Homo-oligomer: A and B are copies of this chain.
């Protein structure tokens, strides 16, 4: 089956830290919100308007651990993935839907420690005092995520 394509490409900023969930079998996932902005001039008011779109990013296993290690709130990242809408029931038993981006690839555009992130404050102030040669691990890294765990029926 197939002959279809489901691809998402985002560049945005993390709205929060990467939140990890660990599973019994040894797998894990990381989740974080990612903001993208769209700016246009309103034809009604002739003013510049900015809309922020929030995306729920889900990363798995080793890739999740790498993201947690290097990405913090405010960091900028390129995310490639698939759209997945999960169906769940709220307390009243109504069907609810939640759309996520299941990350298949990523590239860090800034990282926690490289001073390009105004919100990773403690680390950044250390950063700012250090010389450039003292930043050995801050190059962007693009690991290939490996997926070794069930894809469905996540309990959250």
The answer to whether the Cβ of A69 comes within 8 Å of any Cβ in the partner chain is: no
Task: Report which residue of A5, A39, A53 has the largest number of chain B beta carbons within 10 angstroms of its beta carbon.
Answer: A5
The answer to whether the Cβ of A38 comes within 8 Å of any Cβ in the partner chain is: yes
| Chain B contacts for A76, CB-based, 8 A | 3, 109
| Chain B contacts for A31, CB-based, 8 A | none
A1-48 interface with B by 8 A CB criterion: 1-13, 35-40, 43-44
A138-156 interface with B by 8 A CB criterion: 139-142, 150-152
Task: Report which residue of A3, A36, A107, A140 has the largest number of chain B beta carbons within 10 angstroms of its beta carbon.
Answer: A3
Do the beta carbons of B1 and A53 come within 8 Å of each other?
no
Interface residues on A, range: 35 or more
Do the beta carbons of A1 and B139 come within 8 Å of each other?
yes
Do the beta carbons of B4 and A7 come within 8 Å of each other?
no
Cα A103 to Cα B153 in complex, Å, equals 30
Do the beta carbons of A139 and B3 come within 8 Å of each other?
yes
Cα A148 to Cα B146 in complex, Å, equals 17
Cα A107 to Cα B54 in complex, Å, equals 19
- Kindly supply a per-residue 1/0 record for chain A positions 77-108, scoring 1 wherever the CB is within 8 Å of any chain B CB and 0 otherwise: 01000111100001010101111000000011
9 tightest A-B contacts by CB? A3-B140, A5-B11, A99-B99, A4-B36, A6-B36, A1-B37, A7-B9, A2-B142, A1-B39
Chain A residues in the interface with B (C-beta under 8 A): 1-13, 35-40, 43-44, 50-55, 76, 78, 82-85, 90, 92, 94, 96-99, 107-109, 116, 139-142, 150-152
